Amino acid sequence: MGTAHNEAKPGQIAKAVLMPGDPLRAKYIAETYLEKPFQFNTVRNMFGYTGFYKGKQVSVMGGGMGMPSIGIYSYELYHNYSVDLIIRIGSAGSISENVNLMDIVLAQGACTDSNYAYQFGLPGSFAPIADFQTLEQAAAEARAIGIEPCVGNVVSSDVFYNEYPDVNQKWADMGALCIEMETAALYMNAAKAKKKALAMLTISDHLFKDEHLSADDRRTSFSQMMEIALNTAISSI
Ligand code: HPA
């Protein structure tokens, strides 16, 4: 039975799902990397596909922008579709001297300015973290294709057009590597569902150096990250 946001039937979604923000990137990944891709979702144009990579079943589905959006889609994948692992593949803006355009960040942890954790009623703040095994595997897959990943804390913000961008410096002072908008919700959902998650981020902007990739680059130039994500996904199955 489907959900309000996903019309896939039971069994149509693989145990491991790659989740870009942009549903057209999901389509591109399915058509470029997967054999026999089958589209399981068109609701709200949040396209999802299942296919085969190196003989193993993998799915790829858009997650949208922001914590509420990825919160909905990841929750349903974990709880309604028995998905074990979600790998977010996205972009982020660097706030670190050591993290440059096109670098790949593996989000070991995700700080946030969002109130998403409020729902869990905890007597303190929660530290959203990646699944360690998946993180280790992704680092190994990156090195296998000659890329040294940047591993550390990221910031999942509710705000893209920040009225007071000075706050980014405060996160940088705490050692956070980059700003994006989804990972903390994904990691919290995974924790609550007792499932696995990892976010892999390509740096599309440097927020302190005013450097940016073009929109076309954002959609098409992440082939290295996709290869790392796909190989990490199939090794988890
Ligand atoms: N802020 C938030 N999310 C992002 C950014 C940014 O600067 N760049 C890419 N994703």
Active-site annotation holder among 205, 210, 216, 217: 205
- Which amino acid residue places its CA nearest to atom 3 of ligand 1? 180
- CB 182 less than 6 A from any atom of ligand 1: no
Distance 93 CA to ligand 1 centre (A): 5
Among the atoms of ligand 1, which is closest to the Cα of residue 157? 2
Coil/strand/helix, residue 37: strand
Place of tokens 């990825």: 70
- Which amino acid residue places its CA nearest to atom 10 of ligand 1? 92
Q: Measure the CA–CA gap between 62 and 65, rounded to whole angstroms.
A: 9
Question: Is 205 labeled as catalytic in the residue annotation?
Answer: yes
- Which amino acid residue places its CA nearest to atom 9 of ligand 1? 92
Global pTM value = 0.96
Beta bridge partners of 111: 155
- CB 50 less than 6 A from any atom of ligand 1: no
Among the atoms of ligand 1, which is closest to the Cα of residue 159? 2
**pLDDT by 10s per residue, the chain, length 237:** 799 999 999 999 999 999 999 999 999 999 999 999 999 999 999 999 999 999 999 999 999 999 999 999 999 999 999 999 999 999 999 999 999 998 999 999 999 999 999 999 999 999 999 999 999 999 999 999 999 999 999 999 999 999 998 999 999 999 999 999 999 999 999 999 999 999 999 999 999 999 998 777 665 557 889 999 999 999 988
